[in-house]
Amino acid sequence: MRQQDLLWSLLPCDEPNLKLFKTSCFYSASPNLHMAIFKNSLQKPLSKLTRALKKYLFSLLMISLGVSIFGGFWFLSQLGPKNVDFSEIKPRAEVSEAAKTFLQESIELESRYDEVVALRKASVEDIILLKQAIEKQDNYIEAINGFDSEASDRKIRLEQRYQEIASESLYQESLDLEKLADDFALKKDFDNAVTSYNKAFEKQQKINETFPRSGAYNVSRAILLKRQAISLTAEPLFQRSLAYEKEADVLEESKEWAKAEKILKLAINLQDRINLKYRGIKQADMSRLGQLQNKLIRIQSGERYTELERISQLADSRRAANENFEAAALYDEAARLQQEINEDFRESPHASSHRVSEFLRNSETAKSLELGLEIERNNDLLQSLLSKRRTYEASEVIVALRRGITEMQASFPLSSLNNKDLQIKVRYLTIIQKDLSFIHDRIYDALLPVPECEDWLMLRTEVSQALFSLIMGTNPSRNKGDLRPVDSVNWIDAKNFCERLGWVLGKPVRLPTENEFRLVLGPLRYLVLEDHVWSAESADGIPQNIGTKEPFGSDYYDLLGNVSEWLESIDRFDSEEAVHIGGHAQDRLESIFSVPLRYRSRGERSRLIGFRVVVRKN
Kindly report, residue by residue over 423-437, the tens digit of the pLDDT: 999 999 999 999 999
Q: Minimum mean pLDDT among 109-123, 162-176, 275-289, 512-526: which range?
A: 109-123
Q: Is the pLDDT assigned to residue 303 strictly greater than 60?
A: yes
Considering only 75-79, 100-104, 240-244, 247-251, which range has the smallest mean pLDDT?
Answer: 75-79
Domain boundaries, the chain: 98-166, 303-367, 370-436, 448-616
CA angle, corner 576, sides to 581 and 603, nearest 5?
70
Helices (H) and strands (E) in the chain, counts: 23, 8
How many angstroms separate the CA atoms of 266 and 433, rounded? 73
In Å, how far are 5, 294, 320, 363 from 350, measured between CA atoms?
Answer: 136, 11, 25, 20
CA distances from 170 to 70, 161, 165, 356, 482 (A): 62, 15, 10, 71, 110
Q: Indicate the pLDDT class of residue 132, thresholds 50, 70 and 90.
A: confident
Average of pLDDT values for 62-69? 81
Confidence bin at 574 (pLDDT 50/70/90): confident
Give per-residue pLDDT as tens, 577-604.
Answer: 999 999 999 999 999 999 999 999 999 9
- Please count the residues of the chain: 618
User: Which residues 6+ apart lie within 8 Å of 295 measured at CB?
Assistant: 245, 248, 264
Comparison of pLDDT for 606 and 4, the residue scoring more: 606
Pair 427, 379: CB distance under 8 Å: no
- Whether the per-residue pLDDT at 558 is higher than 50: the answer is yes
Given a cut of 80, is residue 169 above it in pLDDT?
yes
- Cα–Cα distance between 398 and 234 in angstroms, integer? 78
Q: What is the CATH number of domain 448-616?
A: 3.90.1580.10
For residues 282 and 462, the model is more confident at 462
Instruction: Compute the distance between CA of residue 519 and CA of residue 348 in angstroms, rounded to an integer.
Output: 66
Q: What is the structure's pLDDT at 40?
A: 52
Answer yes or no: is pLDDT of 404 > 60: yes
Question: What is the DSSP track for 255-269?
Answer: T-HHHHHHHHHHHHH
How many angstroms separate the Cα of 213 from the Cα of each of 124, 163, 210, 339?
A: 19, 6, 9, 71
483 and 464 Cβ atoms separated by less than 8 Å: yes
pLDDT in the model for residue 84: 52
- What's the rounded mean pLDDT across residues 84-112? 73
